Structure 1
């Protein structure tokens, strides 16, 4: 992908997210409520990785 195409794609997604902020946030809240195990696993992996990077 060219730099120009990547820039246009990034701008498109930023605009989409701004225009659909409430709907996307609602979807994310619902998904997290339905998948607490996945959220817990993700958070655990995130903090373990962050701790390893801090120790280096």
Structure 2
């Protein structure tokens, strides 16, 4: 699948999706420059919330 806005998609690693709403899982990408937080929301869905922070 080609990226919509240019660039190259990359697989950085695996993070397990939490099973309980409000619980967060974190993943630090291999270079240590970006942290991903994944949270299962309590909205009808299931719907995931993903926060990404440059470190």
Structure of larger gyration radius: 1
More helix by share: 1
Q: TM-score range by the shorter chain?
A: under 0.3
More strand by share: 2
TM-score (structure 1 length as normaliser):
0.21
